[in-house]
């Protein structure tokens, strides 16, 4: 019923996986993903924990109307967060070997 090593072997494997996942969570802070809009006029960088790290706006865009600038910032933020999410998912899949399949972990 249980694989070689029995229940204690399974528990050790689960503990190792948990340790690797905790380490990967810590490393997500150092993972940076970028989003751009307006051909690079607005650039946003987020980390793997989906925190916005920086926002860069080219001076020429400031001469445009506020609504356009808001749209550019929103698009860049959304792209950065999507890229960060994908990179974090790839990082976690590399740790778990894809064992979690399509299961989503809260906060990831």
**Tens of pLDDT, residues 6-19:** 778 778 888 887 88
Strand order in the sheet with 52-57: 32-37, 42-47, 52-57
Q: Is the pLDDT of residue 103 over 60?
A: no
The reported pTM is 0.71
Predicted local confidence at residue 57, as pLDDT: 96
pLDDT in tens, 57-74: 999 999 989 999 999 999
The answer to whether the CB of 73 falls within 8 A of the CB of 45 is no
Q: Classify residue 1 by its DSSP letter.
A: -
Look at domain 27-94 and name its CATH class. alpha beta
Cα 95 to Cα 16, 21, 24, 32: the distances in Å are: 11, 7, 7, 18
């Amino acid at each position: 019923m249980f694989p070689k090593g029995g229940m204690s072997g399974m528990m050790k494997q689960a503990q190792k996986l948990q340790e690797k996942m905790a380490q990967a969570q810590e490393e997500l802070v150092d993972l940076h993903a970028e989003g751009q809009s307006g051909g690079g006029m607005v650039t946003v960088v987020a980390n793997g924990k989906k925190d916005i790290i920086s926002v860069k706006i080219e001076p020429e865009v400031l001469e445009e109307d506020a609504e356009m600038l808001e749209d550019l910032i929103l698009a860049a933020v959304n792209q950065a967060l999507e890229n960060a999410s994908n990179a974090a998912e790839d990082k976690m899949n590399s740790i778990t070997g894809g064992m979690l399949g399509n299961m989503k972990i809260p906060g990831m």
